[in-house]
Chains A and B, each alone.
Chain A
């Protein structure tokens, strides 16, 4: 069975500083990997996804993530954060197949301070 671990429940960072949000997954089969962002009282929005090909994936709002198969990681990065990036970030995996259901981590709250 697949699972996702987001070790950091909160990441405080100053505005314009770089940030990395960590995500590790476990799976015995190939998976597809996703990062979603959730702003307060809203639904989830897809930031980026890895399906195959280049291990460096670029997404919206200046975010990128790198798939590392040997370390089973898919960390999210941004070189310079803004106050507006303050939100909950969820890493997810999907085994694909017939259902394509998403398996989420517990989330990381990115708190950007001025």
Chain B
């Protein structure tokens, strides 16, 4: 059973360009989380999605960032007009369910975004 897949693993963008990060959850998982890890810091929650629904986006920057998890296909984290401060590792996690802390989140290998 394949784990959580993320692509690309490394992404280089120039300031002002758009970055698209993809996440394919584990088979059977319909819950996806996105986290950002800045250099020398821990992971910070960004957004939690279920199929076709954004459940919690309390960690998303108000501008330039958006996320979706369509009925078919991977979850996409989109960053428009990237700036140097967006350089970070972006991790996706998936789970079978949510609530009560009983559903383990399985993490992908991450996408390392570098903005030049």
Provide the residues of chain A in CB contact with B109, threshold 8 Å: 41-43
Residue B12 interfacial (CB < 8 Å): no
Q: Which of B13-21, B66-74, B78-86, B100-108 contacts A (4 or more CB under 8 A)?
A: B100-108
Select one of B4, B56, B93 contacting A99, CB under 8 A.
Answer: B56
What is the distance, in angstroms, from A87's C-beta to the closest C-beta of chain B? 14
A107 to B44, CA, bound (A): 12
Provide the residues of chain A in CB contact with B98, threshold 8 Å: 98-100
Is the contact region of chain B dominated by helix, strand, or loop, or is it mixed?
Answer: loop
A98 with B99, Cβ < 8 A, contacts A44-B91, A106-B41 known: yes
Q: By the criterion CB–CB under 8 Å, are B55 and A98 in contact?
A: yes
Q: By the criterion CB–CB under 8 Å, are B45 and A49 in contact?
A: no
Provide the residues of chain A in CB contact with B33, threshold 8 Å: 101-102
How would residues 42 to 64 of chain B score, 1 for a CB under 8 Å from any chain A CB and 0 otherwise?
11110010000001100100000
Q: Which residue of B lies closest to A45 (CB)?
A: B107
A66 to B14, CA, bound (A): 46
Binding site for B on A (CB under 8 A): 4, 6, 32, 36, 41-46, 49, 51, 90, 94, 96-107
